[in-house]
Every structure is written in structure tokens, then in C-alpha cells.
Structure 1
Amino acid sequence: MQPVMPSWPELQRFGTNWRISGSLMELSIGPPCSHPCSCFSASCGKRRPRMFGSVNKTKLLGVMMMVNFLIYILVEVTRSYGRSDPTKPHMPSKEFWKKPELSEAYWNRKQQHLDYVRNPLIVSSTVHASSAPVDETSQTTDQPNHSTKAKHCKPDFAITTQIKDYNSLPQRFKDFLLFMQCRSYPILIDAPYVCSETPFLLLAVKSLTLHFDRRQAIRESWGHAGILTNHRVVTVFLLGKTTESDYFPNVSEMLRFEASLHGDLLQWDYRDTFFNLTLKDVLFHDWIAENCPSARFIFKGDDDVFVNTRSILNFLGGLSATKERDLFVGDVISNAGPHRDKKLKYYIPESVFVGSYPPYAGGGGYLYSADVGLRLRNISQYVSLFPIDDVYIGMCLQKLGLVPEKHQGFRTFNIETKYRENPCTYQGLMLVHPRSPQEMIQIWSWISDPGLNCQ
């Protein structure tokens, strides 16, 4: 059986009319009517669809389909560019790191410079280009003085033109700023044998030359060196140099006698002032790294505090290895900032420092592991000296990514008056500030009494 294929329509003329004929359709096309109404008249015959209208619609439909197709192609191309290609590196639209705008405050400027030269990306590229050691590359005229052989560090008088209100600053601030770049001084009195046997706990006490009575009271109470609760405890006192210009009497001979008698004094050849307590921290960490690296824990505090050494040892004995590694506990102060009143002891001018302080432990005393002590020593080389020592240690901890832990046993702001004469009050504490030499000896005798019952 042969398939019947539809034939194409043929166009034929019948007089004045054209007819399309074929197997699919037949359509007669006559001349257009002269009047709209005549399209329905007898002379015009029945209304016929107009061929040209259909052709225009077909063209319009084709154009619309073509436009839709082009839009589809554009959308797909855009999507393909939006997809991430794992084989190609992704470039961020903004800079990941850039040098910050230079601060107007002097300390902040110095710290920005140290942060800049310590940046591993910058140091690595500089070292690769120059083939110089990292230490040599990072050393600039703005770098602190780290030379252990320097006998005298000269004042930097250029600083007087770098701080707009330098001439109006208190004298103690001027003195600090002039020697701010100096952090290495020769040692005058050493204690080379204090760590001859590995200490479990090293007590480092900040003291002044004239405080003979405080040091002796500590030796006879909470700072007594030897074995305590099966752990070895050693004590050192950290001193600077008092000068006649500060109206101190010359007691250097008495100090040397004390050092020979007890062998626990460390004295450096720098001016011992309140703002130089930070320098005392830096020098001590250098000393312990070289002379007592085997110490496991370090307590560092002032010579007017009482410390319950037994309570500290009990606390340390219960630490895990992880907790021990990052240990730094004390009376932590958070959300603090500089004082702007010139009459205050802790006054910091805006021309020197702007910003808030990181969390820090009160300088009356805090406890940390030797591992943290070593890290503090290393990072302090890249933190500009700050005139408040406990804030400075907080800055160093922040650079290490550590936050000091607050412990209720540290009472650097004393305890309520009604509890101060109760021996049992001190049993659960680690530190109380302040206490006189007489009070230290008395409290130690209270808590050392085997008959004391605090249940």
C-alpha cells in the first residue's frame, strides 16, 4: 500500500480571484473590500482571512523565539563565568593585608612598625630578595636595643620632636620616653647558683634597694627557699639601681653584703623607677632563659604582698599537661583603658598611647608556667615597652593569642576588713595585697600552725 503524501498547495487564478488549492486547505483570496461593511455584503462574499496578517504574525513569532534563544545563551554564559573553577586560583576582590594608617600616638606608631617588620609575608620576601638573615633584615633604627653586650644605652633625644606635647609631660614620662628603646643593661649582682637544683616553683619578687625589711620578711615566711609539700621552691629578688639623683642614700655596700649572705638578689644597672618595672620584667625573662630554664612554674609579684605558697603548690599539683602549658592566672582586669588625669599615678597621655588595654593580671602578683615565660621573653622583643608593667605583660599575652585566667584566690585589692584577722581566711587564698613585713610573718605563722582547724 502506497502512503498518501499531502500535496503542496497550488495557486490558481480564476478571473480576478486567486485560489490556493491542495489537499491540506483551500483558501480564496479576492480583491480587498472597498468599505469595511462591504466585507459582509453579497458582492464581497463571505469574509476571508487576510494572508498578509498571518505572515506578519509568523515573522513576529519567529523574532520573539530568536530573542528568547539569545537571552537563554546570555544567561548560560553568565552562569558559567559565575561558577568557581577548582583548577584556577581565586583572587580576592580586596587586599587581604595592608599596612595600616600611621597612628598619631607615639607608642602606637612604634608598635605598628614592629608589627610591620615582623609580618612573615614581608620578612620572607625581603629575606628572599636580599639573602640576609631574618634578624638582620628586621633590625632598623626603630628597633629596640637587644644587644646583651651594651654597657650604656644613650637617650634618644630625637623623641622630643616626635611627640607634640613632650615639653608639657611629667618628668617621669620624659625619662621613660628618652630610654624607651633601651632594654638591655649589664647585671651588677647575680645569683648564679639559685637554680643549681631544678626548682618546681620559682618565686620572683620585684623589690627596691632600700626594702631590706620586706625581703627579709619574705625569706622568713612565704618566700622561704627549700622543700615545701615535696616540691622545691626558690626565691629571687629583682632590683634596679637607686641613684643619688632620686634622693636615695648610698646602701650599695649593704646590698652587696645581703647578696653574699643569701645569694638571691638580681640587680641590673638601670634606674629603678615605677615606669621601669616593665624593663625589670624583660630583664628577668632574659635571665631565667639563660640561668634557670629548668624551672617549671613562676610566680612574679611585688614585695608588699602575702602569698600562700602551699595553696599555690596544691593548685599546681592538680593541673593537666594541657592546662600547665598555657597557664597564666591572677586577678585579671578586663575592659580597662588609660587614665588621662595627670595627677594619677597611671596617667598615660593621648600623644603617647590611644586605644584600650587587653585583659591583664594585676601586677601585685600572678602565676604562670615556664613555657609561657619563655614565650613571653621571645614575643616581648616585638612589643614596644609600655610604662605600666602589668598592662605590658597583657599586651605580650595578646600577641601570643593567650588570655590570662582570673582566679578568685588572687586578691590584689585586699579583702574585707572583717576577715583580715581570721587565719582561716588565708587558707584558701593564693595572694593578698597589700601586707606589711610584720603582717606577712604573722599570717604565715597562722597558716603554718598544725593545730589550725578551719572546718
Structure 2
Amino acid sequence: MQKQQQERLKQENLQHHDLIQSDFQDSYRNLTIKTMMMLEWLVAHCVKASYIMKVDSDIFVHVYNLVKLLLNPNTAKQNYMSGLVWWHSPVLRNPSNKFYMPEAVIAEPEYPPYPLGMAYVMSLDLPGKILGVSPQIKPLYIEDVYLGLCLTRLGISPIDPPENTMFVVKTTHPLSDCSISKVIAVTTTSISQITSYWKRSKQAKC
């Protein structure tokens, strides 16, 4: 079965040339491994890019608004990381909670600021810097928090987007045309919803 699946992946990549594969189990607890692998690939293969964006599979991305933000003269070209930044997020100590974190791993009561993993943007100088300090950070399965810890070690703070309408994790669907016209990344409930928002985004306005 595994050999058959690998062969199907190989054939798909021969057709589309859009797969990156590594040797670890793709699970929630391994999201940090996946993220660090992604950063390693970016450093090795994307030296001419200016920014990168990581998004979850259930996210609609309004590409026009994203490019507009990144071309804005006020958007930093280095040490830049933005998204839905969580400030003063408490470290959860209840062992029954999905995001439980023991004091032995993190003693502080709050996490450093970090952009929520649903979608974040960073300038391409950051992957190499993050990889450089990552050996100094205790392994942590919450990948966005882990990146926040790396940024703190680097003395870099994530940046809130210019408008709080740009990155949205919880909302009421369907979105209005006005909301679509302002968003960069928003969590959706289905592939058909993503497709619908993509089609509507071409004409959506307030």
C-alpha cells in the first residue's frame, strides 16, 4: 500500500511539479517539523523571492490584497512577519486541554507574540534567521508559538496588519462583498466556499 501511494505521489508530481515531500508523519503534533522543513526548503530554493506566505488548507487568500499589502512602502522588507498576531496569549496548564504546556517546557505564564498559524507572511530573510536560532529553542509542537519563541530569541516582534479586517480566523459565513474586499486571509468551511469567495473577490467592493 505504501509503495503504491508513493508511486501515485510521484506521478502527481510529474504532472503538476508542486509537491515537496519529507520523511516524517504528517500529523498535528508534527506541525513544527513540517514548518521547519518548509523554511529549509525556502532557504535552499527561493533566494530570489521577497516574501513567503504560509496558509492552512481551509484558508481563502485574497491574492490581490496580499500583493497590495506587500507592495505598500510602509511594509518592511526585512525582519517582517505579520498575520493575526496574538499578544499576551496565556500558557494553558490544564493537562486535558489540547494546547496543554507543562512548566518544564515553558515556565512563563504567557507566550511571546506570534501570528496565528492559519496564515502568516514573512520576509525571506527570516527563514534562515529562524533556522539559525531554532537549535536553542526547546522543541514545541505548537508551530506558531514555536516561531514566536524563535522571533523573541532574535529580538524581532511580529507586526499587526494595517487593518484588523485582513486576517480573520472566526467569522460568520457567507462573507459580504464588503468583507471579501478587505480580507487577505480568512478561515472557511469548505472547498466550495473558498472557490465561491475567489470568484466573488474579482468584483467584490464596499
TM-score, length-scaled by structure 1:
0.42
Shift of 1:453: 5.7
Aligned counterpart, 2:9: 255
Shift of 1:380: 1.8
Determine if contact 1:279/1:385 at 8 Å carries over to the other structure.
Answer: no
RMSD: 2.1
Instruction: Verify: 1:387 aligned to 2:141, yes or no.
Output: yes
Instruction: Verify: 1:325 aligned to 2:81, yes or no.
Output: no
Determine if contact 1:424/1:447 at 8 Å carries over to the other structure.
Answer: no
Shift of 1:454: 2.2
Distance in 2 of aligned mates of 1:453 and 1:332? 26
Determine if contact 1:277/1:389 at 8 Å carries over to the other structure.
Answer: yes
Aligned counterpart, 2:111: 357
Runs of 4+ in 1 over 6 A off after TM superposition: none
- Residue aligned with 2:37, SS: helix
* Amino-acid identity (%): 27
In structure 2, which of residues 139, 163, 168 is the aligned counterpart of residue 411 of structure 1? 168
Decide whether aligned partners of structure 1 residues 319 and 379 sit closer, same or farther in structure 2, where only a CA change above 3 A counts: farther
Amino acid at match of 1:359: P
Amino acid at match of 2:30: N
Amino acid at match of 1:445: K
Q: Which runs of 5+ in 2 are unaligned?
A: none
Distance in 2 of aligned mates of 1:281 and 1:305? 17
Shift of 1:334: 1.3
Determine if contact 2:180/2:204 at 8 Å carries over to the other structure.
Answer: no
Determine if contact 2:113/2:148 at 8 Å carries over to the other structure.
Answer: yes
In structure 1, which of residues 399, 409, 418 is the aligned counterpart of residue 153 of structure 2? 399
- Residue aligned with 1:279, SS: helix
Amino acid at match of 2:99: Y
Deviations 1:15-51 (A, max 9, x none): xxxxxxxxxxxxxxxxxxxxxxxxxxxxxxxxxxxxx
Instruction: Verify: 1:454 aligned to 2:198, yes or no.
Output: no
Q: Which runs of 5+ in 1 are unaligned?
A: 1-242, 245-249
Range 389-398 or range 268-277, more displaced: 268-277
Larger RCO (CA within 8 A; separation ≥ 6) = 2
Decide whether aligned partners of structure 1 residues 350 and 314 sit closer, same or farther in structure 2, where only a CA change above 3 A counts: same
- Residue aligned with 1:361, SS: strand
Deviations 1:251-291 (A, max 9, x none): 33332222121111111001222121111121111111112
Determine if contact 2:88/2:113 at 8 Å carries over to the other structure.
Answer: yes
Instruction: Verify: 1:445 aligned to 2:202, yes or no.
Output: no
Compare CA radii of gyration and give the structure with the larger one. Answer: 1
Distance in 2 of aligned mates of 1:349 and 1:276? 18
